[in-house]
Amino acid sequence: MSDNGSVGKWRRGRSVAPRVDRLRAINLPRRAIVELDAEGRPVALELRGKGEGGRGKGPPHSLPVEFVGETWRIDDEWWRRPIARRYVEVMLDGGGRVMLYEDLITGEWWVQTP
Amino acid sequence: MSRVLTSDHAVCVWIPLFPLRLEEARRPELGTRPLALLDPHDGRRVWQVSPLARRAGVRPGMTIGQAIGLCPPLMLCEPDPVTYDERFAGLVAALGDVSPVVEPAELGRAFVGTDGLERLYGGPEAQLAVISSVVEEWGKREGGRGKGNAGWLYPSPFPLPASPRLGWARGKFPAWVAATRAEPGDAVIVRSGEEQRFLASQSIAVLPLDADTHRRLWQLGLRTLGALAALPEDAIVAQFGRAGRRLWRLAAGRIAEPVIGRPAPQPIGAAVDFPAPIADRLMLAHTLERLVARALASPRRTGWRVQVVRARAALEHGASWMTEVTLKDPSADRDRIAAPLKVRLEQAPPAGAVERLTVEFLAFTPGTTELQLFARDAASAARAGRRRALHAAAQEIKTRFHRPLLHHVVEVQPWSRLPERRYALIDLEP
């Protein structure tokens, strides 16, 4: 399973062990194209559709960012395949609160519900 | 727990309009007039209709007003369900002398398992001859019993058994269809391997369908089982779900449902005699609850949930009342078993005061794996019911779309800082 969709071991509490091959991760990030200003803050967001890697249906559409809120960083799993993300909370023009993150290793932008 | 006996080969013994024929037998003057029996559960509607009345346009389920309007000389008859049931139980017991595997299907229709009988009696023709003679003997014996519950004298010999229709085949459904094709007092044999050819020309009306499904098949231009079986199985499943799969396989002769002998334990009953006849419904409902609780306490019931429950009452002046309920969710809970009986009591109460009230558990399902058996409160019973309903829906969806579309949300790493690692979906597998 890919990095974004991988799952770990099961916690106790279920009498019958679920079949791991049928697991589907929830809240996978969606690929996005983000236009940045000079300070590296998002000013517009273009979604490519649903699915990891930008796969999805429908044409891409651009949405201007009206407000940039909190920003935080996650660094994890440095011992095997490092993950480094910069999350940014933005409010889109016309409403809509979206969480974006920049993959600091590949430089790609993604949309994800925290 | 005793072993359930089954048989792949079956003889269907069918006496059409069994209750109506009983009434005609005990009152021969009715045989020359259009006759209809009233519905035991809804006294405003007719239940069974004689051929003369049917010729005049009367159909089962019509209101009395509609029936009389169509056929003014129609004779309406109060049903006597206890007697019908006793007579049919006698027939089933008699068939038990031929084979240990006997499965009653409805009043007047029973299946006899014939696996292994060839070494005892011979081929299908010989088996049918034995069964026919047993039915005839039963009729003479019943005719000699004299008075029925209502005090009428039965004529002797009893005229019913002379005209059972018999069908021999592998599987209950072909045997039933064969019986419907037989002349009264005769038999039709469908030998192994000939089921598909035999079924292909039969009308779809022989399938166990509800009215809506029958109408839809008819609208699709399907008139025979052969036409239905010629369609791809998946197409029928897509239209009619799991029920459609069973219908298609029955029509194509792909499944041979075995005769299943009466499962253990034997029926459990509890009864009470009232010192003075009771007509008060509240009192009767309360008594029903007490009787259900008493029957549940029987040690023979341990490990089994009740699937079919019957209440019957002996009324003043020799009349009777009976109602039978098949529980969609078999239960070992007093209130869940008593509830449908009380509803029936309200909807179709006894026509007179009750002298004796009896509750019987007639069929059971194993109950050791069910939460409901141990449920002591309504909430847990309701949860169990909801779970079963959900699983049934999931099974239906999976059958129709070939993949499960319902999922559980399960915790994977709820502590993870990466949102996609916290939860996952897993197929909901009943």
With an 8 Å Cβ cutoff, is B426 touching chain A?
A: yes
Radius of gyration of chain B (CA): 25
Token readout for B57 is: 């346009």
- Between β-strands B354-366 and B268-278, what pairing exists: parallel, antiparallel or unpaired? antiparallel
Query: Where in chain B is CATH 3.40.1170.60?
Result: 5-189
- pLDDT for residue B152: 36
- pLDDT for residue A54: 44
- pLDDT for residue B143: 60
CA gap B373, B303 in Å, rounded: 8
Beta-ladder partners of B46: B38
Q: What is the pTM of this model?
A: 0.54
DSSP label of A82:
-
> Quick check: B411 and A11 CB within 8 A?
yes
CB under 8 Å to B270, separation ≥6 — which residues?
B291, B292, B294, B295, B298, B358, B359
Which of B408, B421, B427 lies nearest to residue A7, judging by beta carbons? Answer: B421
- pLDDT for residue B182: 92
CA gap A1, B129 in Å, rounded: 68
Token readout for A44 is: 């517009």
Residues in chain B: 430
CB B235 within 8 A of CB B223: no
Q: Looking up tokens 């429908």, which residue turns up?
A: A58
Which of A5, A11, A22 lies nearest to residue B426, judging by beta carbons? Answer: A22
ipTM for the predicted complex comes to 0.73
- B397-424 CB burial, b ≥16 within 10 A, e <16: bbebeeebebbeebebbeeeebbbbbbb
Token readout for B321 is: 């009342």
- pLDDT for residue B381: 54
Nearest chain B alpha carbon to A114: B419
Q: Name the CATH topology of B5-189.
A: MutS, DNA mismatch repair protein, domain I (3.40.1170)
Distance from CA of A44 to the nearest CA of B (A): 23
- pLDDT for residue B369: 38
Options 3.40.50.10860, 1.10.150.20, 1.20.1250.20, 3.50.50.60; CATH for B195-260 is 1.10.150.20
Query: Where in chain B is CATH 1.10.150.20?
Result: 195-260
Q: Name the CATH topology of B268-373.
A: Dna Ligase; domain 1 (3.30.1490)
Phi then psi for residue B395, to 5 deg, are -65, -40
CA gap B181, B419 in Å, rounded: 66
Q: Quick one: how far is CA B110 from the chain centroid? A: 10
Interface test with B, best of A26, A30, A86 (most B CBs within 10 A): A26
pLDDT per residue as tens, chain B (430 positions): 445 688 999 999 999 988 888 888 877 777 788 888 888 777 778 889 998 899 999 999 888 888 888 888 888 887 877 778 778 877 887 888 899 898 888 888 999 999 988 888 999 999 999 999 888 888 877 665 544 433 333 343 344 545 789 999 999 999 999 999 998 888 999 998 888 899 999 999 899 888 888 888 888 898 999 999 999 988 888 888 888 898 999 999 888 899 988 655 678 889 999 888 888 889 999 999 999 999 988 877 766 788 889 999 998 877 889 998 888 777 888 888 999 999 999 888 888 899 999 999 988 776 543 333 343 444 555 666 676 777 778 878 878 887 778 887 877 788 888 888 888 887 776 5
